[in-house]
Structure 1
Amino acid sequence: MKPREKGWLKEYLEFRKELLKDLTTETKRKASHPEYSLYRVIQPTGLMYGQVVGDINIPESEHWNERDRMKILLAESLLSSSLLFQEKPIKTPEELSGIFLKTLESISNFYNNIFPELSIPTKTLFGRKKTVMELAERILDKRIEHTNAFEGNFWASFFHNTLLFLDVFIFGQWIHTNADKVVADFFRYEREELRFSVVKVIASAAHANKEIAYEEKKLLEYFLQSTDLSHERKRQAIQIFEDGIAVEDINLPSENSWILKKFFLEVAILTLWADKKVEQSELDYLKSFCHYLNFSEEDLENSMIAIEGFVLEHWSQLEHLQNKQDYHEVSEQFIKRIAKIAERNKGRLVKEIHEHEDVMNLLRKARSNELTLDEKEKMRQELIQMLKTLPTFVIIALPQKFLTLPILLKILPRNLFAEGVNTDAS
């Protein structure tokens, strides 16, 4: 599959059909709120942070450039948003195909109405009416052409391309409305307001320690370059950034969804990360911001875990970020956070271990023999699956590659394995 060639969208849907269908099952629909499920789909990909480093399990994807990957992630996020909010489970291939076509039509209508600068004709030069697939493919091509490529520069990519998340969020609202002119006008207004809200969140977070670092000043520059704000709005943004803005004056919409509030919180966290350290005054700011969003400190902790886990999983790909954060410091902080959650849920984990015969057998063997590489890998995978049963990790994805067996044994409570473990994992 080649995202730069015509027909890529049809190939993508065919390849991803089973994975996308899985989002609509009765079990998945009842497991958690659709917004939690959407966060779990989008956050590990990096789309919320303007990154395209998440794993894309499609043949030849290692040969794609940044925009190819971004296009596929945007298409998958828009389709996932539509499927997760389906009222009924999809039972047949025909129903799934019908939902795909309806969603693709909604994608075309959405961008044509809300992003008039991307609008495309519905007919060819020879008067043939374009198919739903052709229209959706071309408009997604154009949307990605309007982004900026900054391979290797985390912060530039973050503030140029993180706005794609707002596309997905607004689209999730759009598909449940009758798209008349009044509705389209509302969503165009919301698009501008939400983009400006990101500016205010950045400014507010940057002033948290009463000192604007050079890196934080660059963030505004990156962001303003990426938006289509009017001259007056850009002037206001610069003023807000120079003066700062109190949390209570940000005036985010009062009916914010959970995933949108999560996005704003994680924008604030990453803004504070820009100058290397998160100081106590900045942590106090984040707690205040959480209170403003009606989030608890547990929500803040979960977002810190989500961001740290994402960064650790893709450390080698986030070259620019390596200059700003210390890998050891980030990993130790992440391990401490996960260890606290594991300790709080020790009873559940003990129960899980005793219900998994494979793990128990490996533990028994490890008491007297060194495990083979295959056995260590099996144990690693089993322990990760057990962690995934904890409520926190129903929503937050765990960094699979980062969680080696030695790290897992540091995370899990020391007395979790009553009979002891000698895996010689290092």
Structure 2
Amino acid sequence: MNPSATGWIDKLNTLLDKSGVFPVHAIVLYDKLRDSGFIYGTNIRLAYPLDIDNRLTEEELSKTHLYMALLSAHYTHTGSLVYEEAIHTVISFYAHIEKHNVSFFQKFLNGRKNSTKLEKILGNRIQFDENILTKNFNRILTNVLLYTDVLTYIQYLGGNTDCVTYAAKLEAFIIDTMYRALEIKPGKNEFDIQLVRLFEASARYAGTVGKEVIVPEEEKRIFSTPLEKKYLIDLACLTIWNDKVIDTEEKQFVLDFGRDLQVGRNEVEQSVELVRSFFRIYKDEILLLNFSNPVKHFYDNSTRMVSNLILRNKKRLIQELLQSRELLVLLSKSTVKELTKEEKQKVKVQLLDICKTIPSLAIFLLPGGGILLPLLIKFIPQLLPSAFNDNKIN
């Protein structure tokens, strides 16, 4: 199952059926999504272990989790899960909230079967830098408010004919809460600044928002379901999080916030600890926290991306390499000796020729894609039969 390729939803449905853990109630899945990082705007792993050979990228995990959350919301509302019916309803929901967007209907709702339409819609909903090379340098994720889609979909299922207004109020409330939380922090660091940008960039329904946003008290009371409360509390805790000690005023802020939402103290304190624990455990894997070394980010992200591409095209790549004897000799030589300028150029040209035959490796053909070739060369020896290493040129 590859969420970057057409047909992934149908394959995921099969995997979910085989897993024996799905469907589940939305509030049960929510806890799993929080543990995976989806609720916090990042994705470390799948919410449930599934029989997937590929290591999913951040974008692919986001698509998968959003789809699962929407299915779970449908199951919770109807009491059953028929994939075709759920997919049809989700498409109707997105068509409803985009009813004034002509390009949406032209791009995503023409032709195709429903599962393919939804793949396009979800792909459009997940915000990532479209330039695959640039995003390795500056990957500030803008999906921290993605769960608002699920809460808004629940409103749609419940008959709310103006669910867009609901979503706009929810986003405004979240961002208003974020600003109030940041104002009481004794010292703001780079993480806080990045978090502000993250929230603002994630807003889809509220439009342009800023410090001046004010949510009337009576509108705050509309967020009263257990899922809404859990989500709001978790994002408030995310705002006050830091890797040291949470200040007394900060903790009191979320406790007061929880009381306003009629959430018990124990649940609020648990949410605080869950945020701290998640970011403590996965700190090195969360790009938002590692803003101090952009060059290292570029290398780490590129390495991860190239590794995924190679694993997913391993058989075809081995076949193409074994047919190019000169390239194999040069690659073998490069592991023990510096190649000449002419030899390096030969390697580059022949590798790019191979990449032309494998669509998934087309990234290396893009302008600037050549800077990733050394990573491709680095991984190739691991793919080839042991005879390749036995015959190294010494």
TM range (shorter): 0.5 to 0.7
User: Could you tell me which residue of structure 1 aligns to residue 117 of structure 2?
Assistant: 135
Q: How far apart in 1 are the matches of 2:72 and 2:261?
A: 25
User: Mapping of 1:229-268 within 5 angstroms?
Assistant: 233-234=208-209, 237-240=210-213, 251-268=219-236
Alignment CA distance shift 1:320-1:210 (3 Å): closer
Report the CA distance between 1:239 and its aligned residue. 2.9
Unaligned runs of 5+ in 1: 25-33, 91-95, 178-182, 325-426
Alignment CA distance shift 1:308-1:112 (3 Å): same
Deviations 1:326-359 (A, max 9, x none): xxxxxxxxxxxxxxxxxxxxxxxxxxxxxxxxxx
1:317 equivalent in alignment to 2:300? no
Q: How far apart in 1 are the matches of 2:246 and 2:277?
A: 17
1:176 equivalent in alignment to 2:168? no
Alignment CA distance shift 1:78-1:61 (3 Å): farther
Determine which of 203, 226, 236 is the counterpart of 2:179: 203
Alignment CA distance shift 1:313-1:80 (3 Å): farther
Letter in 1 for 2:28: S
Report the CA distance between 1:153 and its aligned residue. 8.4
User: Could you tell me which residue of structure 2 aligns to residue 282 of structure 1?
Assistant: 250
Letter in 2 for 1:108: I
Report the CA distance between 1:39 and its aligned residue. 2.0
Letter in 2 for 1:61: N
Deviations 1:77-107 (A, max 9, x none): 11122223333xx5xxxxx5xx111110011
User: Mapping of 1:216-231 within 5 angstroms?
Assistant: 216-228=192-204
Alignment CA distance shift 1:309-1:176 (3 Å): same
Q: How far apart in 2 are the matches of 1:305 and 1:11?
A: 36
Task: Give SS of 1:85's match.
Answer: helix
Report the CA distance between 1:199 and its aligned residue. 0.9
User: Could you tell me which residue of structure 1 aligns to residue 18 of structure 2?
Assistant: 18
Report the CA distance between 1:275 and its aligned residue. 7.7
User: Mapping of 1:24-423 within 5 angstroms?
Assistant: 34-55=25-46, 57-62=50-55, 64-87=56-79, 96=81, 99-116=82-99, 117=101, 119-121=104-106, 124=110, 129-144=111-126, 146-148=127-129, 156-157=140-141, 160-177=142-159, 183-184=160-161, 186-209=162-185, 215-228=191-204, 233-234=208-209, 237-240=210-213, 251-274=219-242, 276-318=244-286, 320-321=288-289
Report the CA distance between 1:255 and its aligned residue. 4.5
Report the CA distance between 1:65 and its aligned residue. 2.6
Letter in 1 for 2:44: V
Q: How far apart in 2 are the matches of 1:255 and 1:313?
A: 31
Q: How far apart in 2 are the matches of 1:108 and 1:20?
A: 26
Q: Is the 8 Å Cα contact of residues 37 and 84 (structure 1) preserved in structure 2?
A: no
Alignment CA distance shift 1:65-1:36 (3 Å): closer
Q: Is the 8 Å Cα contact of residues 167 and 205 (structure 2) preserved in structure 1?
A: no
Q: How far apart in 1 are the matches of 2:136 and 2:240?
A: 22
Report the CA distance between 1:305 and its aligned residue. 3.1
Give the TM-score normalised by the residue count of structure 2. Answer: 0.62
Q: How many residues align?
A: 283
Alignment CA distance shift 1:227-1:164 (3 Å): same
User: Could you tell me which residue of structure 2 aligns to residue 373 of structure 1?
Assistant: none
Deviations 1:119-138 (A, max 9, x none): 334765xxxx5322222222
Report the CA distance between 1:230 and its aligned residue. 6.9
Give the TM-score normalised by the residue count of structure 1. Answer: 0.58
Deviations 1:34-61 (A, max 9, x none): 4532322321221111111123534233
